Chains A and B, each alone.
Chain A
Amino acid sequence: MITSGAVQAGAQVIPECDSRYRMTGSADLQDYRNFEDFVEYALTHLALQKKNIVRMQVAFDELYTNICYYSGAKRVAVSIGKDPDETVYMILEDDGRPYNPLEKPDPDVSEPLTEREEGGLGIYLVKRRMKDITYAYSNGRNQLKVMISDVEEV
């Protein structure tokens, strides 16, 4: 259940869901701020370590903007929750064209920056810093789930 002062009018919060926190909004950067607040709110309430909050925030930025720019989607839903084994997950769903970003080849990061082709860095960053990522397409929706382990290092 979520009741968030951080989530503002214009975005719709749907409480009933298996995820602990869920928010839907538009896929056109209009709702960026609302989503950003929501993500921070949810992660803070799940008591994640600071570094993992930052990683999730960056992941959200990369994935949400990809949807806005390239998918042709109208709506986006973001769900955030924590499993008993301290795995924190974030699911982004959109009603755009079927597209699996995990199939995009990784950029060659050993190449000099100035000679590299643009793009692809965002999803690469997400892939490298998450414990796991899964993609599914069902019911006319792209579903991308990213997971991070919040177990503290011993």
Chain B
Amino acid sequence: MNIEKKRELETMTVCVSGRVDSSTAAEFEQQLLGNLSGISRLLLDLAQLEYISSAGLRVLLKAHKTMKSQGGKMSVQGANEEVREVFAITGFLEILHVEDAAKDREQKSQAKADSERELSRGDSHIHVRFRKFQLGDEYGIMECIRDEYSDTYFRRNLYDPYYIRTKAENESITFLVAETEQSKIAGFMMLKPFQQSRSVVEIASQIFRKEYRGYHMAEPFFEYAMELLRAGECTAVYCYPVMFHDITQRLMHRLGMQETGLRLNLFDMTRTTHSYERGHNHKQSEGIQVMALGQRDIGTIYLPAEHTEFCTQIYDRLGVYYEVGSMSGAKCGMQQGTRYSSRRDERQHCLEIEIEEPGVDLQQIMQAMLALTPLGGGWTTNAYLNIRHPSTEEAYQALKKAGFFFTGLKPLCGEREYLIMHHPGEVKVFLEDYAASEEFQKITAYVRGCMEQAWREKRL
């Protein structure tokens, strides 16, 4: 732990970095409370605070009491997600006046954003209010999930009310709900930042209770979400509609989202219940749809020669400015080590690999990973290749040699740009059984070509 103090007239600013726990709390107390006389405003800058335990909370409470007793005010700024979560759980968030610039902006945009609608299905009419999460909604949200997926929904965290509440409280995920006049949660969705960034947001988990189908609730609900996002600092929105029904795909398209690719074989359908047609696929897939909101110029991307046309068409439809970098100009060879991360979903038998910087060892790494996670027994792999890196072509060829085929783009419009490749292992893919909108049919047709090429070349 390290502490820096700065005093200006009656304002004391204290920057705390490192850890405040049992071993450092005493020093924290001494430093923080040591010299508060004559201070009317105590500002704690916690941007560099790694974590805080209850020993540290006790010190904050003492400081709060001291400031209150001398008629002053104490506030906190810059706390990271973990620290905010601790504050949220223990009730410190409200009381410490934890400041968050993004939150202020959101609150301003929220005033106008609550939205009420009259909806009808034949002769039946309902009144629905779209709004942000309030305490207690977590149980209604869980009922929506159980109604559609019983206990098989792949986002396992959403079966935990504490998780929902905490994420909503510390605002790392925005939950939106559709509430009826009887105060019942008819449906919900999540706005989930892409890797902590607030500028790229995923619209996720749009789930409605079956009894409210047919009221056309989804479209105004999405419009409400879009309105919130436009009012914020969001530069791009994306979503992953499932391919076992096309309702969300069509809706999102009507709202202006563009189809960019597929994430194949993410769910094990033998372990998932849902209320739609099943078809032959043992594993099911998601599409990717994207809409650019703010930033229009995304800079240079590098594309494999055989997919340049397909990819540039997608970027053109997204309406962003971009430049396709030329490989010959950047022919400096690949770097030595690949930088990548991966995650395994044991439940869905799915391995996802993000390749941030491909290196000469990429093919070896992929083969090693496939050896560690043998692609039998329903295991499948998706690789996301960063196409901001000049070695895209070499990396693409290496992935092809390792048995992967192209399935589209995940273009986050300025934040990150990925090309997606898939290895189905032993899982058979019946693309014709997907419930795809016209736009997604074009994508699946293209992906089918890539998959068949892999068969022909006996890479699979």
List chain A positions with a Cβ less than 8 A from chain B.
Answer: 29, 32-33, 36, 51, 54-55, 57-58, 61-62, 64-65, 84-86, 107, 109-114, 118, 121-122, 124-125, 128-129, 149, 151-154
Q: Is A128 in contact with B162, judged by CB distance below 8 angstroms?
A: yes
- Give complex CA distance A128, B166 in Å: 9
Closest A residue, CB atoms, query B89: A128
Give every chain B residue within 8 A of A122 (Cβ-Cβ).
53-55
Whole-angstrom distance from the CB of B270 to the nearest CB of chain A?
Answer: 18
- Give complex CA distance A82, B166 in Å: 25
Whole-angstrom distance from the CB of B256 to the nearest CB of chain A?
Answer: 25
Whole-angstrom distance from the CB of B47 to the nearest CB of chain A?
Answer: 16
Q: Is A121 in contact with B82, judged by CB distance below 8 angstroms?
A: no
Pick the residue among A33, A65, A151 that contacts B345 (CB under 8 A): A151
| A84-B346, A153-B157, A154-B155 known; A58+B51 contact, CB < 8 A | yes
| A109-B91, A121-B90, A154-B155 known; A61+B346 contact, CB < 8 A | no
Give every chain B residue within 8 A of A154 (Cβ-Cβ).
154-155, 345
B65 part of interface (Cβ distance < 8 Å): yes
Pick the residue among B58, B65, B91, B343 that contacts A152 (CB under 8 A): B343
Name B357-396 residues within 8 Å CB distance of A: none
Q: Is A125 in contact with B58, judged by CB distance below 8 angstroms?
A: no
Give every chain B residue within 8 A of A125 (Cβ-Cβ).
53-54, 86, 89-90
| A32-B23, A128-B162 known; A111+B54 contact, CB < 8 A | no
Pick the residue among B23, B57, B68 that contacts A114 (CB under 8 A): B68
Closest B residue, CB atoms, query A110: B91
Pick the residue among B89, B155, B156 that contacts A109 (CB under 8 A): B89
Closest A residue, CB atoms, query B61: A113
| A62-B53, A114-B65 known; A151+B90 contact, CB < 8 A | no
Complex A-B: 30 CB contacts under 8 Å: A29-B22, A32-B22, A33-B23, A36-B21, A36-B23, A51-B81, A54-B50, A54-B82, A58-B86, A61-B21, A61-B53, A61-B55, A84-B346, A85-B346, A109-B89, A109-B91, A114-B61, A114-B65, A114-B68, A122-B53, A122-B54, A122-B55, A125-B53, A128-B89, A128-B162, A151-B156, A151-B345, A151-B347, A152-B343, A153-B157
Q: Is B90 in contact with A109, judged by CB distance below 8 angstroms?
A: yes
- Give complex CA distance A51, B50 in Å: 10
| A58-B86, A151-B345, A151-B346 known; A113+B54 contact, CB < 8 A | no
Closest B residue, CB atoms, query A69: B22
Q: Is B95 in contact with A112, judged by CB distance below 8 angstroms?
A: yes
Closest A residue, CB atoms, query B96: A113
- Give complex CA distance A54, B85 in Å: 12
- Give complex CA distance A85, B21 in Å: 30
Give every chain A residue within 8 A of B146 (Cβ-Cβ).
none
Closest A residue, CB atoms, query B165: A128
Name B1-56 residues within 8 Å CB distance of A: 19, 21-23, 50-55
Q: How many A-B residue pairs have CB under 8 A?
A: 81
B64 part of interface (Cβ distance < 8 Å): yes
Q: Return the CB mask of B323-364 against A: 1 if under 8 Å, else 0.
A: 000000000000000000001111100000000000000000
Closest A residue, CB atoms, query B344: A86
- Give complex CA distance A154, B92 in Å: 29
Whole-angstrom distance from the CB of A129 to the nearest CB of chain B?
Answer: 7
Q: Is A113 in contact with B155, judged by CB distance below 8 angstroms?
A: no
Whole-angstrom distance from the CB of A125 to the nearest CB of chain B?
Answer: 6
Closest A residue, CB atoms, query B162: A128
Give every chain B residue within 8 A of A86 (Cβ-Cβ).
344, 346
- Give complex CA distance A118, B89 in Å: 16
Give every chain B residue within 8 A of A107 (Cβ-Cβ).
90
- Give complex CA distance A77, B65 in Å: 37
Q: Return the CB mask of B99-138 against A: 1 if under 8 Å, else 0.
A: 0000000000000000000000000000000000000000
Give every chain A residue within 8 A of B343 (Cβ-Cβ).
151-152
- Give complex CA distance A84, B166 in Å: 27
Whole-angstrom distance from the CB of B74 to the nearest CB of chain A?
Answer: 11
Closest B residue, CB atoms, query A150: B343
Whole-angstrom distance from the CB of B57 to the nearest CB of chain A?
Answer: 6
Closest A residue, CB atoms, query B240: A154
Q: Is A61 in contact with B22, judged by CB distance below 8 angstroms?
A: yes
| A58-B21, A61-B22, A86-B346 known; A129+B58 contact, CB < 8 A | no
Q: Return the CB mask of B202-232 against A: 1 if under 8 Å, else 0.
A: 0000000000000000000000000000000
Give every chain A residue within 8 A of B65 (Cβ-Cβ).
114
Whole-angstrom distance from the CB of B195 to the nearest CB of chain A?
Answer: 11
- Give complex CA distance A58, B22 in Å: 10
Name B311-333 residues within 8 Å CB distance of A: none
Whole-angstrom distance from the CB of B141 to the nearest CB of chain A?
Answer: 16
Q: Is A113 in contact with B95, judged by CB distance below 8 angstroms?
A: yes
Q: Most chain-B CB neighbours within 10 Å: which of A32, A61, A149?
A: A61
